[in-house]
Structure 1
Amino acid sequence: MNSDLLRAAFEAFNAGDADRCVAFTTPDLIMNLAELPEPRHGQQAWREGFEMMRHAFPDLRAQIEDIVAADDRVALRLRFRGTHSGEFLGIPPTGNHIEYVSHEFYRIAGGLIAEEWICSDTATLFRQLGVA
C-alpha cells in the first residue's frame, strides 16, 4: 500500500538514514518545493537537501498527523520538530527549538516515490529562528 511506503520512508528520515530514504525513490525523482521557482531532480539533489536539514537540525523528526492515499497519490500533513544546532541558509545556530507544519503530496510509480510536492510553513520556521 502506498501509505505504508511513505510511513517507512519517514521512519528512515527520522532515523537519519539518508541511504534508506533514497532507496524509497526513483533515480529521476522530481521535487517540487513551494519556495523554489523550478523543480529539483534526482536522488542526489534530494540527498543534498536532507543533509542540509540534518546539519542545521540534527535531531529533526517528522510526525505524520494525517495521511490519505488514493491511486498513485499520497497526501500528508506532517509536523517537524528539532533544534537549530547548525547553520541553516546562512543563519548561524540559535539553539532554538523549531516546530512547523508541512503539507506534502507524493506520486508513486513502480512502488517508489517518483515525485513530491512540498509546501512547508517556512514563515513559522524563520520566525522561530529570529529572522522574520
Structure 2
Amino acid sequence: MKKLIEEYYRKMDALKGDYSQMKEVFNDEMTFHFPGIPTPLNVEQFQGPAQGIYAGFSDFNHSIEDVIVDGNKIACRVNITGTHNGEFQGIPASNKSIAVGAITIFRIENDRLSEHWICVDLLGILTQIGAVPAK
C-alpha cells in the first residue's frame, strides 16, 4: 500500500495534477475531502484545483516523510515545496519559495485509492508568498 501512495505523489507531481492520466491509481468512485469544502469532490471536480496549484507553483513537489498503515487506511506526513512563479488563487507570482507540511489520509479499496483526506498548511503557503502578513 505504501508503494501505491508513493506512485500517487510521484505521478501527481510529474503530471502536474492531470488526474485523467492516473486512472490506474484511482477507483471509479475516488473522492477528495478538503477543508472548507463541505462535500467530497470526485476526480473531475478536484482536477481543476489540483492543476491550479501546479500553475501557481510549476515546481510544486511532495516528499513523503512518514507513512502509517492501519487496515485499509494510510496516513502520511508530507512536505511540500515549490516556487510561486505563476498566479495562485488570484495572487500574482511572487517568485518566493514555499515549504509547508501536510497530513493526508487515504482509503484503499481493491488495490486502488478510494478516498483522500487532505489537510495542508494553506495559511503557511499564503504567508510565505506574501499574501498574508507574517506576525
Please name the residue that 1:108 is paired with.
Answer: 108
Runs of 4+ in 1 over 6 A off after TM superposition: none
Q: What is the percent sequence identity of the aligned residues?
A: 23
Distance in 1 between the 2:14 and 2:89 partners? Answer: 23
For structure 2, the residue ranges without an aligned partner over 5 or more in a row are none
Q: Against the structure 1 CA distance between its residues 49 and 23, is the aligned structure 2 distance closer, same or farther, given a 3 Å change threshold?
A: farther
Distance in 1 between the 2:100 and 2:66 partners? Answer: 14
Distance in 1 between the 2:59 and 2:22 partners? Answer: 16
Please name the residue that 1:97 is paired with.
Answer: 97
Distance in 2 between the 1:56 and 1:21 partners? Answer: 21
SS state at 1:8 partner: helix
CA shift at 1:16, angstroms? 2.6
SS state at 1:79 partner: strand
Q: Against the structure 1 CA distance between its residues 21 and 50, is the aligned structure 2 distance closer, same or farther, given a 3 Å change threshold?
A: farther
Matched, 1:7 2:6: yes
C-alpha distance after superposition, 1:26-83 (max 9, x if no partner): 2221111023222212x21232222111111111110001111121101000000001
Q: Against the structure 1 CA distance between its residues 131 and 22, is the aligned structure 2 distance closer, same or farther, given a 3 Å change threshold?
A: farther
CA shift at 1:20, angstroms? 4.2
C-alpha contact 1:22 1:47 (8 A) present in aligned 2:
no
Matches within 5 A, 1:13-52: 13-16=12-15, 18=18, 19-41=20-42, 43-52=43-52
Greater alpha carbon shift after TM alignment, 95-104 vs 46-55: 46-55
Q: Against the structure 1 CA distance between its residues 121 and 95, is the aligned structure 2 distance closer, same or farther, given a 3 Å change threshold?
A: same
Q: Against the structure 1 CA distance between its residues 28 and 64, is the aligned structure 2 distance closer, same or farther, given a 3 Å change threshold?
A: same
